[in-house]
Structure formats: structure tokens, C-alpha cells
Chains A and B, each alone.
Chain A
Amino acid sequence: EPEVTQTPSHQVTQMGQEVILRCVPISNHLYFYWYRQILGQKVEFLVSFYNNEISEKSEIFDDQFSVERPDGSNFTLKIRSTKLEDSAMYFCASNSVGSPLHFGNGTRLTVT
């Protein structure tokens, strides 16, 4: 069964550094998402992406965050200047119209 893949599985970075989290959604899916989960807390929506543009974003998704689909297969989340509070699991997801989301296994981001 096709799956969403995310790399790296764990990323450690220093405060103020830029990070790029990578995702390969399922190939015939049209909608892409990023969610995050701070340790022990609920999963929070960050952004949805369709037809090469952001369709919706949350309050968390401020100017420090950006998404891109650079080459038709990858879907990336960039955090320009990481803060300690950005430490979390970041999940990529994708779906086609009317179908449930398929999530990747996540990237654990640790900001020191």
C-alpha cells in the first residue's frame, strides 16, 4: 500500500537556525498538509496546500513558516529561524477529494 514518507525521522537544530522538513505524499493525492504535535499534547493543524498554493493556514503558521512543492513529488516545510517552542513532531499528510488523510511517521524536531 502506498504511504507518505517523511525525512529525516529526527532533526536536531540550534535555536535561530533554518530547518527544512521533507515529505513525499502519496503520488495520486492532490491535497497536502502539515500538522504538528508538541510532546504529550494534541495534534495541531498548520497548513493545507492544493494546486500549488496554500489553501488554509492556522495561527501557528506565521511568517517563520513556509511550504513548497518544488518538484511535483516532494512537499517541504521550512522554518526560517527556529525557536525552542518549535520542538515537536511534525506530520505530513495527504489525501484525495473526500478521502481520509494518510499521515507519515513524522519528523521529530528538537531545537536546542
Chain B
Amino acid sequence: SQQGEEDPQALSIQEGENATMNCSYKTSINNLQWYRQNSGRGLVHLILIRSNEREKHSGRLRVTLDTSKKSSSLLITASRAADTASYFCAISSQGGSEKLVFGKGTKLTVNP
């Protein structure tokens, strides 16, 4: 299976703390993407990192990619209660058609 696998499955932190979620995969990739899903809602794209990139930032988000270890991490700094959601990594092995393979997700709870 080429799917991404996140860990931990669940993470509970206090507001203001940093949250780190990891994703591992098995195949070569074109890019890796992180999505967020609030309960019962659709997926919202957060950040995309290409296979030739090692780190990317967007606001309070920092994503790293290590293609030698086939792993990525998503760091959310200074977390807020509104960051409570499930976070999924998704890998794209092909350019063009975005058949994404999603992991099972990390359920993040940020306590006020």
C-alpha cells in the first residue's frame, strides 16, 4: 500500500502549545499534502510540499519532508482551540491527475 500513515492517531494539548503530527509513506511521491477536516465537514487543503522541497511554512504551519525516510511532519505552533480537527496527510505519486492517497489521520484536540 502506498498510503500515508499518520501518528499519533490522537493528540490532546493545551492552547498555546505546539502540535506535531507525523506521516510515513511507502512509495515515491510527486508531492505530499496536508488537509484538515472539522467534524462532519469537508477537507480543507493546508499545505503542499513537493518531493524536491524539504521544508515549507504557511502562517503557524510548518511542514517538513524527508524523502530518504519517506516521512513528513506537520507542526502547528501556538495552537488555538479552533485548531481542533482531524489532520490528514495525502500523497500524490503522479503529476497532473491528483489521485491522492490519504492516511487515517490524527485527531487533534486543543483544550482552552
Contacts and interface: CB of A to CB of B under 8 A. Distances in A.
Interface of A: 4, 31, 33, 35, 41-45, 48, 50, 55-56, 91, 93, 95, 97-98, 100-106, 108
Q: For this complex, into which size category does the number of interface residues on chain B fall?
A: 20 to 34
Nearest to A50: B97
Interface in B70-102: 88, 90, 95-102
Nearest to A95: B98
B62 interface: no
14 contacts: A4-B42, A33-B99, A41-B104, A42-B88, A42-B103, A43-B88, A45-B101, A48-B99, A56-B99, A91-B42, A101-B43, A101-B98, A101-B100, A103-B42
Contacts, number: 58
Contacts of A33: 98-99
Nearest to B46: A100
B104 A48 contact: no
A33 B104 CA distance: 19
A55 B41 contact: no
Given A41-B104, A42-B88, A103 B99 contact: no
A100 B33 contact: yes
The interface centre, meaning the residue of A41, A95, A100, A104 with most chain B CB atoms within 10 A of its CB, is: A100
A104 B97 CA distance: 18
Interface of B: 3, 33, 35, 40-45, 48, 88, 90, 95-105
Contacts of A45: 99-101
B88 A103 contact: no
